[in-house]
Amino acid sequence: MKEIEALGARAVALALDVGESSHFDAFVEQVRQQLQQHWQRHSE
């Protein structure tokens, strides 16, 4: 992430354990929150 930001871009890091499908809904919510917070984007 620091390398991306050093180039003037924005980035976030999110963890996802693909072996635990029960975590997918929470991951999707994290993505939505980050899109809104950092890029003022809304997902449907």
Whether the full predicted model's pTM is greater than 0.75, yes or no, is no
What is the mean pLDDT of the segment spanning 11-17? 92
Which residues does 23 contact at the CB level (< 8 Å), separation at least 6?
Answer: 16, 17
**How confident is the prediction for the chain on average, in pLDDT?**
89
Other beta carbons within 10 Å of 12: 14
Residue 20 CA, distance from chain mean position: 18
Q: State pLDDT tens for residues 22-35.
A: 999 999 999 999 98
